[in-house]
Structure 1
Amino acid sequence: MAEFDFTQAIGEARAKYESIAKALDVDRLKADIKDLETQAAAPGLWDDPENAQKITSRLSAAESQLKRLNSASQRIDDVETLVELGHEEGDQDSLDEAQSEIGEIQKDLDQMEIQTLLDGEYDERSAVVTIRSGAGGVDAADFAQMLLRMYLRYCERNGFKAKVMDTSYAEEAGIKSATFQVDAPYAYGRLSVEGGTHRLVRISPFDNQGRRQTSFAAVEVVPLVEATDHIDIPDTDIRVDTYCSSGPGGQGVNTTYSAVRITHLPTGIVVTMQDERSQIQNRASAMAVLQSRLLVLRHEEEAKKKKELAGDIKASWGDQMRSYVLHPYQMVKDLRTGYETSQTQAVFDGDINAFIEAGIRWRHEQRRAAETEE
């Protein structure tokens, strides 16, 4: 086995740290923290709880980011000192410890590097995620519910605030669709790589003959709109229907017409909301989601026009983006990045950070390649 090259490993770690620090702009980060601290200390901050939550969340994220940067720099210095002492004293235990620490530092730097790749126009925002069952009957509805649980567990693992806004239950099992909102810095930038068609292959628990079944579910991710987005929706462009909220199996969970369905007539986009008790609250939430979808649609149309003008029309990367195989072998594989794991249960328990990070790197490479072609 070749001797571990500490000089090269430490040099690579330091170079990656400096690249990350430059990309994140430490001086700007410190200025942002100072500005957010001033806003957080303002009298009457919590008169607007929603805005206060955004400010404190952004402050916490920025402080955590700066702390990680400072910690990484210090750890590189410390491990370099440990290597020098290990060589001087011929202490193999110290050198083994240093090698292990360098590996951990490299892992942390890889995760921090992801942050520098989240530079899209809306990447910093909260996200609205909708899951819909596709082909595959009751298995597809069950798969959609499995994905909902997976993403909610992912949010829980990462300390992201997630709120289910609407659920449409299937008759036999699972869900027809569900929409939830994730409030965390860069939630959209991270989760947007999950958009597309997901495929499940397994022995169907709903087939009395125990046959293998392939089912599909679609995941849509849009950024949460803000007041500055200027998405005007004339009243004449929408139809609003109200109805009683319902739970699994159609059982009524309240007897008032609080649930809201908004149909955008020009595009056919339909948004339903039943999480809140108040019809007014549900209508406001539904309008926010509709605006988010129209915002994404507008930018997709703009991007399409640019590609047409450039004479370069490519298929969307979102289709058939991941396969979950539970039979005849255990494997979850991302068809875009090639990343895969045999730990299927861990994935369904929300352990999908590696898939998301691989997706972010893949997207960044795609964007860079597209810019080069232009």
Structure 2
Amino acid sequence: MAEFDFSQAIGEARSKYDTIAEALDVDKLKAQIKDLESQASEPGLWDDPDNAQKITSKLSAAQSQLKRLTDMNTRIDDVETLVELAREEEDTDSLADAKTEVESIAKDLDDLEIQTLLDGEYDERSAVVTIRSGAGGVDAADFAQMLLRMYLRYCERNGFKAKVMDTSYAEEAGIKSATFQVDAPYAYGRLSVEGGTHRLVRISPFDNQGRRQTSFAAVEVVPLVEATDHIDIPDTDIRVDTYCSSGPGGQGVNTTYSAVRITHLPTGLVVTMQDERSQIQNRAAAMAVLQSRLLVLRHEEEAKKKKELAGDIKASWGDQMRSYVLHPYQMVKDLRTGYETSQTQAVFDGDIDGFIAAGIRWRHQQRREAAEE
């Protein structure tokens, strides 16, 4: 077995760290923290709880990012010193510890690098995710619920605040659709690469003949709108319907007409909301999601115009972006990036960081190639 090359590994780590630190602009990050600390110390900060939460959340994220950069620099210095001392004393145990630490640093640098690639217009925002069952009947509804659990577990694993805003249950099993909001810095930038059509292949638990079934579910990810977005929706452009909230199988769980369905007449977009207790709260939440979707629609129309001017660009996501195969073999594979794993249960338990990281790198590459054309 070839001897581990500490000089090369540490040199590569140092070079990658310098690139990341330059991209994140440490001086700018420190200035941002100073400004946010000043805003957070204002006497009337909590007079506006929503704005206060936004400021403190941004401050916490910026401080955490700076600490990660500082700690990473210290770790590289420390492991370099450890290797020098271990070589002088011919301490094989310390060299083994140093090798483990160098490998850990390399992995953590890869994770930190992802942050530098989240440079899209809305990447730093919170996200609103909607999952809808597609072709495949009961299996598709069950698959949609599996995906909902997968994303909620992903959020839990990463410390992201997630709140289910609306769920439409299917009659036999699973869900027709579900919408949830993820409040975390860069939630949209990370989760937006999950948008598209997901495919499941397995032996159907709903088929008494035990046949293999292919089913589909769609995932839509939009950034949460902010007051500065100026998405005006005239009352004449919407139809608002109210109804009683429901649970699995259509069982009534609310005797008041608190659930809200808003239809945007010009585009046909429909948003339903039933998580809140009052009709007023559900209407406000539904309007926020509708504004988010209209914001994305406007952004897509602008991008389409740019694409027409620039000519055909290869950056196409395609309809089917990921396959989850449980039979005749175990494999989850992203069809855009080629990233795959045989640990299917871990994926459905929320271990999708590798897929998201690969997706972010793929998207960054597509954007760069498109800009060069």
4+ residue runs of structure 1 moved beyond 4 angstroms?
none
Counterpart residue number, 1:177: 177
Relative to structure 1, the CA distance from residue 162 to residue 236 in structure 2 (aligned partners, 3 Å threshold; closer, same or farther) is same
CA contact (8 A) 2:124 2:189 kept: yes
> Which letter maps to 1:238?
I
1:223-372 residue pairs with structure 2 within 5 A?
223-314=223-314, 316-372=316-372
Q: CA deviation at 1:337?
A: 0.7
Question: Within 2, Cα distance between the matches of 1:247 and 1:48?
Answer: 34
Counterpart residue number, 1:86: 86
Question: Within 1, Cα distance between the matches of 2:319 and 2:7?
Answer: 44
Counterpart residue number, 1:209: 209
Question: Within 1, Cα distance between the matches of 2:154 and 2:7?
Answer: 37
Q: CA deviation at 1:297?
A: 0.7
Q: CA deviation at 1:316?
A: 3.3
TM-score after normalising by structure 1: 0.98
Structure 1 gaps, min length 5 = none
Question: Within 2, Cα distance between the matches of 1:318 and 1:111?
Answer: 26
> SS in structure 1 opposite 2:320?
coil
Counterpart residue number, 1:74: 74
> Which letter maps to 2:248?
P
Counterpart residue number, 2:159: 159
CA contact (8 A) 2:164 2:181 kept: yes
CA contact (8 A) 1:201 1:327 kept: yes
> SS in structure 2 opposite 1:113?
helix
Q: Tell me whether 214-223 or 303-312 shows the greater mean CA deviation.
A: 303-312
Q: Tell me whether 98-107 or 47-56 shows the greater mean CA deviation.
A: 47-56
> SS in structure 2 opposite 1:321?
strand
CA contact (8 A) 2:313 2:370 kept: no
Counterpart residue number, 1:142: 142
Question: Within 2, Cα distance between the matches of 1:218 and 1:245?
Answer: 23
Question: Within 2, Cα distance between the matches of 1:200 and 1:290?
Answer: 29
CA deviation profile, 1:206-237 (whole Å, cap 9, x unmatched): 00100000000000000000010011111111
Counterpart residue number, 1:195: 195
Relative to structure 1, the CA distance from residue 314 to residue 107 in structure 2 (aligned partners, 3 Å threshold; closer, same or farther) is closer
Q: Tell me whether 7-16 or 125-134 shows the greater mean CA deviation.
A: 7-16
Q: Tell me whether 244-253 or 89-98 shows the greater mean CA deviation.
A: 89-98
> SS in structure 1 opposite 2:119?
coil
TM-score after normalising by structure 2: 0.98
Question: Within 1, Cα distance between the matches of 2:210 and 2:125?
Answer: 44
Residue correspondences, number: 373
CA contact (8 A) 1:165 1:180 kept: yes
Q: CA deviation at 1:313?
A: 5.0
CA contact (8 A) 1:244 1:257 kept: yes
Question: Within 2, Cα distance between the matches of 1:313 and 1:186?
Answer: 26
Q: CA deviation at 1:92?
A: 1.6
> SS in structure 2 opposite 1:333?
strand
Q: Tell me whether 311-320 or 135-144 shows the greater mean CA deviation.
A: 311-320
Matched-pair identity in %? 89
Structure 2 gaps, min length 5 = none
CA contact (8 A) 1:195 1:318 kept: no
Counterpart residue number, 1:31: 31
Q: Tell me whether 49-58 or 214-223 shows the greater mean CA deviation.
A: 49-58
1:54 matches 2:54:
yes
CA deviation profile, 1:1-26 (whole Å, cap 9, x unmatched): 22221111111100100111111111
Cα RMSD of the aligned pairs, angstroms, is: 1.0
Question: Within 1, Cα distance between the matches of 2:57 and 2:350?
Answer: 22
> Which letter maps to 2:252?
G
